[in-house]
Structure 1
Amino acid sequence: AAPAPGEQVLDIGCGAGAGSLALAALVGAKGGVLGVDVSEPLVARARELGEDRPNARFQVADASRALLPVAQFDLLFSRFGVMFFDDPAQAFAHMRRALKPNGRLAFVCWRGAGENDWVRLPLKAIVPIVGLPAAPPPEAPGPFSFGDRARVERILGEAGFVDVALTPVDHRIVFGEGETREAAIADAVDLAFQVGPLTRALADQAKAVVEEAKIAVREAFAAKAQDRSVVIDGAGWIVTARNGDA
């Protein structure tokens, strides 16, 4: 993203504001960051954390529809926040209008589900118990909807961006932590049932089946456990582009 002092940044899907506040520190007092997110509790937390950062503002809004100032921002930034739009080409076209001429876009998103352990490991573990869950339509909104490079290039091109580039990034992820190895594994299992597809895959199963699945998922994460953490493999794209309105 390379934010520079004095720049204006729009943080899309800012969550609790960690990225926005890091950007605000980099653009300095003469710059500014607007973080937008659809979650009121997360934006409230971001405002709390940013009380001493006057150049960071936060707004509860859907960036694909929000009333944004025209040609205001030097940079559109997002960390795992752009894969959930119903009409992504329209959403990016809308957000691009908030960019200055020749402004830039930089975001990170997941690659395919099969390349990311936080989904791959638990789903593989439950297949012998409940079978393979049905996959969502490939272009349905969701964490892996931008896994296909060609689709991302097409969406951004239709939205009016140029110089689109996707760089694969592979990174180790701490998925569970605890005071002991066993506590870290338990933390990873709890998290997998909160943020992954497991709850949906097991929604109609009997309690005994769910408990059996939890044991299998625990064994899968135990294979990745260290002394106080469970460390898994993550795979994403870093996507950059430029506003076509030069």
Structure 2
Amino acid sequence: MAEQPEIVIAPSNAAQSRAWDGDQGEFWAERAERFDEGVAAYHELFLDAAEIGPAARVLDVGCGSGKVTRDAARRAAAGWAHGVDLSAPLVDLARVLAQREGVANASFERADAQVHPFPTVDLVLSRHGAMFFGAPRDAFTHLGRALAPGGGLALLTWQPAEHNPWMGGFRSALSGGREGAPPVDGPGPLSMSEPAVVRALLESAGFERVRLDGLRERMYFGRDAADAFRFVTGQFSGLLAGLEAAQRERAEARLLALLTEHESERGVLFESAAWLVRARRP
């Protein structure tokens, strides 16, 4: 990993920074291709809806390994796309992949998008990243200031847990029912799942013409149940930590059974649902 300069982290994002710049970020970097494959059905829909112009200046928030940033840069061939993330391992990987693929107008930086000083941009994107802000109103107000007048915001966020059975299903299987879907309050995958909450948040941050469109696609978790099992147990390893051997064996058996139920000719697939959120700066 390249040495990273010190950056300013908002106090409300300190826990997220420790996680994403630590073991969680390492796990995502090691399995970046699998994470992109998981939500691949949403990818082109998201980019098309963002309406990236050929000379656009694009900011990708929570860019991860940079798939969205690179493809946005390709669409903005006479402009550029800049990806930011709290995870040094993911930012390092994003740079390597952009160089390998020859996407010269894509750049990456470890930064806290809630407080980092950005140049003026035409479009802010975030694919499943904006849900993790510690102080969402502050974050979106700050990002709005970076947008040129009339600039656009395009987000992909998860719909409520009942439309994403994988989300609570994995946690319940591994915890024996003690854990269900993640909470809707605080940073997390469901923090922007309720349309009224999203509209109120973005309007309070100064955005207008807020629009949410529902998308439903299948998520991919592996070639077969065994392959998906290795991936999911790694992602949710915290739920297995500290279990006695017999408890762990039962938890793993429950998960494997659930994954086996969702095997298909195309691999292990689960129904999922996301919001395509769009808004404009006045």
Equivalent residue letter for 1:63: A
Aligned to 1:230: 268
Q: Match of 1:161?
A: 207
2:226 equivalent in structure 1: 186
Kindly tell me: are residues 134 and 54 of structure 1, through their superposed partners in 2, closer, same or farther at Cα, counting changes over 3 Å? closer
- After superposition, residues 73-222 of structure 1 pair within 5 angstroms as 73-125=121-173, 130-133=176-179, 137-177=183-223, 184-196=224-236, 199-222=237-260
How many residues get paired?
A: 231
Change (3 A) 1:135 1:234: closer
Q: Deviations over 1:126-145 (max 9, x none)?
A: 57xx3332765531101111
Once the two structures are superposed, residues 57-79 of structure 1 have per-residue CA deviations (whole angstroms, 9 ceiling, x without a partner) of 1111011111112xx11110111
CA contact (8 A) 2:183 2:190 kept: no
Aligned partner (choices 109, 116, 141) of residue 66 of structure 1: 116
* TM value normalised by structure 1: 0.88
Question: Are 1:32 and 2:76 counterparts?
Answer: no
Measure the CA separation in 2 of the matches of 1:133 and 1:117: 13
Residue identity in the other structure for 2:105: N
TM-score (structure 2 length as normaliser): 0.77
Distance of aligned partners of 1:134 and 1:122 in 2 relative to their CA distance in 1, 3 Å threshold: closer
Where does the alignment leave 5 or more consecutive residues of structure 2 unmatched? 1-49
Q: Does structure 1 conserve the Cα–Cα contact (< 8 Å) formed by 2:85 and 2:112?
A: yes
The runs of at least 4 aligned residues of structure 1 exceeding 4 Å deviation read: 134-137
Alpha-carbon distance in structure 1 between the residues aligned to 2:238 and 2:73: 38
Percent pairwise identity: 37
Q: Distance in 2 between matches of 1:170 and 1:150?
A: 19
Letter of the 2:261 counterpart: A
- Work out whether residues 118 and 192 of structure 1, in 8 Å CA contact, stay in contact via their aligned partners in 2: no
Distance 1:20 1:54 in 2: 11
Which structure has the greater CA radius of gyration? 1
Distance 1:117 1:211 in 2: 23
